[in-house]
Structure 1
Amino acid sequence: MIVFGIYAAIFVASYLVVSLAVRRTARGLNARKTVTFGDESAVRPNRIASVLSVFSIFLLWGAFTGSSLVPGFIHAPGPFTGDAVFTYTAEADGQAPDEATVTVRVFPVGTEVETPQVPEGDGWAKNDADTVGAWRSGLIRVDRNDLYGRDAGHRVVAVNGEAIAPGGSVMTEFGRVGMSPKGTLNFEPAKGWQMEPIWLPPPEAVLSRLGEIASEGYRDSTLWEHLGYSLFRVVVGFFFGALVGIPLGYAMGLSNWFRGWFDPIVEFMRPVPPLALIPLVIIWAGIGEVGKIILLFLAALWIMAIAARAGVSGVAISKVHAAYALGASKWQIMRHVIVPNSLPEIFTGARVAMGVCWGTVVAAELVAAEKGAGMMIMVASKFQLTDIVIMGIILIGVIGFGIDILMRLAEKALVPWKGRI
Structure 2
Amino acid sequence: MIPLLIYLGLLCMAALAISTARRFAHASDFTSLKTVTFGDESAVRPDRAAGILSVLTIFLLWGVFTGSSLIPSFLHAPAPFVGTTSFTYTVEADGQRDDATVTVVVHKPDADVSLPEVDPGDGFVLNDVASVAQWRSALLRVEKNDLIGKADGARIVAIDGQPITAGQTVKVANGSVTLSSQGTPNFAPERGWQMEPLYLPAPEDVWQRSLQILHDGFRNSSLSEHLGYSLFRVVAGFLLGSLVGIPLGYAMGLSNFFRGWFDPIVEFMRPVPPLALIPLVIIWAGIGESGKIILLFLASLWIMAIAARSGASGVNISKVHAAYSLGASKWQVLRHVIIPNSLPEIFTGARVAMGVCWGTVVAAELVAAEQGAGMMIMTASKFQNTDIVIMGIVMIGVIGFAIDVLMRMAERVLVPWKGKV
| Same fold by TM-score greater than 0.5 | yes
Alignment partner of 1:34: what SS? Answer: coil
Provide the rounded CA distance (Å) in 1 between the counterparts of 2:174 and 2:252: 69
Counterparts of 1:354 and 1:150 in 2: how far apart (Å)?
65
CA drift of 1:135 comes to 0.7
Q: Which moved more, 1:243-252 or 1:59-68?
A: 243-252
* 2:193 aligned partner: 193
1:116·1:130 contact (CA, 8 Å) conserved in 2? no
- 2-structure distance, mates of 1:36, 1:87: 68
Once residues 113 and 378 of structure 1 are traced to their aligned partners in structure 2, the CA distance between those partners, rounded to angstroms, is 33
Aligned mates of 1:76, 1:348 — CA distance in 2: 41
- Matched residue type, 2:281: V
Q: Deviations over 1:227-268 (max 9, x none)?
A: 110100011111111111111111222222222222222222
Contact 1:30–1:42, Cα closer than 8 Å, also in 2:
no
Matched, 1:344 2:344: yes
Indicate conservation of the 8 Å contact 1:320/1:337, yes or no.
yes
Alignment correspondent of 1:331:
331
Q: What's 1:57 paired with?
A: 58
User: How far does residue 149 in structure 1 lie from its aligned partner after superposition?
Assistant: 2.0
Q: Structure 2 vs 1, CA of residues 29 and 407 (structure 1 numbering), >3 Å: closer, same or farther?
A: farther
Corresponding residue number in structure 1 for 2:68: 67
The letter for the 1-side match of 2:79 is G
CA contact (8 A) 1:311 1:341 kept: yes
Q: Which residue of 2 aligns with 1:226?
A: 226
Answer yes or no: is the 8 Å Cα contact 2:86–2:104 preserved in 1: yes
How far did 1:106 drift?
0.4
Range with greater deviation from structure 2 (327-336 or 180-189): 327-336
Partner of 1:93: 94
Verify the 8 A CA contact 1:128 1:142 in the aligned structure 2.
Answer: yes
In 2, the alpha carbon distance for the partners of 1:146 and 1:307 equals 76
Q: Which residue does the alignment assign to 2:177?
A: 177
Q: How far does residue 29 in structure 1 lie from its aligned partner after superposition?
A: 4.1
**d(CA) in 2 for partners of 1:61, 1:89:** 43
Q: Distance in 1 between matches of 2:169 and 2:329?
A: 85
Deviations 1:174-216 (A, max 9, x none): 1011111111111110101111111111111111111111110
Following the alignment from structure 1 to structure 2, what is the Cα–Cα distance between the partners of residues 298 and 117? 66
2:300 aligns to what? 300
Q: 1:151 to 1:281 in 2, by over 3 A?
A: closer
- Could you give the per-residue CA deviations for residues 107-138 of structure 1, whole angstroms, max 9, x where no partner exists? 01101011121112122321110111111111
For the residue of structure 2 that corresponds to 1:335, the secondary structure is helix
Partner AA of 1:403 in structure 2: I
Relative distance call for 1:28 and 1:342 in structure 2 (3 A) is: farther
Mapped to 2, the partners of 1:188 and 1:373 lie a distance apart of 38
Structure 1 match to 2:268:
268
1:147 match: secondary structure: coil
Partner of 2:366: 366
State how far apart, in whole Å, the 2-side matches of 1:207 and 1:371 are: 21
Match of 2:404 in 1: 404
Q: 1:28 deviation in Å?
A: 4.1
User: What amino acid sits opposite 2:5 in the alignment?
Assistant: G
Partner residue, 1:77: 78
Where 1:143 maps in the other structure, the secondary structure is helix
CA separation in 1, counterparts of 2:187 and 2:248? 66
- Separation of aligned partners in 2, 1:160 and 1:224: 58
Q: Distance in 1 between matches of 2:322 and 2:243?
A: 30
SS of residue paired to 2:281: helix
RMSD value, Cα: 1.2
Partner of 1:46: 47
What amino acid is aligned across from residue 82 of structure 2 in structure 1? T
The aligned residue for residue 380 of structure 2 is 380
Alpha-carbon shift at residue 14 of structure 1 (Å): 1.1
Q: How far apart in 2 are the matches of 1:99 and 1:258?
A: 85
1:210 aligns with 2:199: no
- Shift in Å at residue 340 of structure 1? 0.8
Correspondence 1:131-142 to 2 at 5 A? 131-142=131-142
Amino acid corresponding to residue 207 of structure 2 in structure 1: L
1:366, distance to aligned residue in structure 2 (A): 1.8
User: Paired residue for 1:416?
Assistant: 416
CA–CA distance in structure 1, aligned partners of residues 151 and 320 of structure 2: 97
Q: Match for 1:397: what amino acid?
A: G
User: Counterparts of 1:151 and 1:330 in 2: how far apart (Å)?
Assistant: 95
Q: Does 1:12 align with 2:16?
A: no
Of 115-124 and 23-32, the range deviating more from structure 2:
23-32
Partner Cα separation in structure 2 for residue 273 and residue 380 of structure 1 = 24
Say whether 1:31 aligns with 2:46. no
Letter paired with 1:182: Q
Alpha-carbon contact 2:292-2:367 (below 8 Å) kept: no
| 1:364-420 deviations in Å (ceiling 9; x for gaps) | 112321111111111111111111111111111111111111100110111011011
Structure 1 residue 271: Cα displacement? 1.6
SS of residue in 2 equivalent to 1:144: helix
Counting aligned pairs with the same residue, the percent is 68
Aligned to 1:123: 123
Q: TM-score, normalization: structure 1? A: 0.97
Cα displacement (A) at 1:152: 2.6
C-alpha separation between the residues in 1 aligned to 2:89 and 2:222?
Answer: 57
Task: Compute the TM-score of the two structures, normalised by the length of structure 2.
Answer: 0.97
For the residues of structure 2 that align with 1:288 and 1:84, how far apart are their CA atoms?
57
